[in-house]
Homo-oligomer: A and B are copies of this chain.
């Protein structure tokens, strides 16, 4: 499939064709102005900035309600001493947005069959899936990215790609879109991807305004 695909590559961003952008922008009509939950999937030892970079962007959009969810709900912790309250996966409504961060814990969660099966359900039921860093490995493990283009953390690239050969992994991209799936490179790239998502849905000016408020030099 080639519809709705785009590669946003900081090293080759001038090569992004207008055609590819037009294809992407076409998706905007479907979803602009629609209220949605952003269900942020947490698990033990997620990476903070993978979550809170995109949160800083998406929290600026009035249409979006941010929710932090985990398989069972309750307090989720990580190596950055975070203790965050979450709601269970079972509370996630269909037709919403799911954000999957990466982190050290992804190497453990990827082997947790119950977690991966439940994540597959969330992903299938979602209108849009945003993966940051090794979050794409978790979603790839569900099989949902098979045959699609995607990217992931630069340092973990081979681990992720070798483990999921049915995905067309794009090395060196800042973020990649394929249909309802957005995937970004490592950690801070999630901010650029979230801005790109807002740009696709609400227009470039809206995304740039958020970047300016954050005093963030967006790698468009």
Contacts and interface: CB of A to CB of B under 8 A. Distances in A.
Interface residues of A, number: 36
Contacts of A125: none
A12 to B, nearest CB: 16
A216 interface: yes
Given A53-B53, A66-B80, A188-B215, 19 more contacts: A48-B52, A48-B59, A49-B52, A49-B53, A49-B55, A49-B214, A51-B52, A52-B52, A52-B53, A67-B81, A68-B81, A85-B85, A153-B215, A185-B215, A186-B214, A187-B214, A187-B216, A188-B216, A189-B215
Interface string A48-85: 11011101100100000111100000010001111111
A154 interface: yes
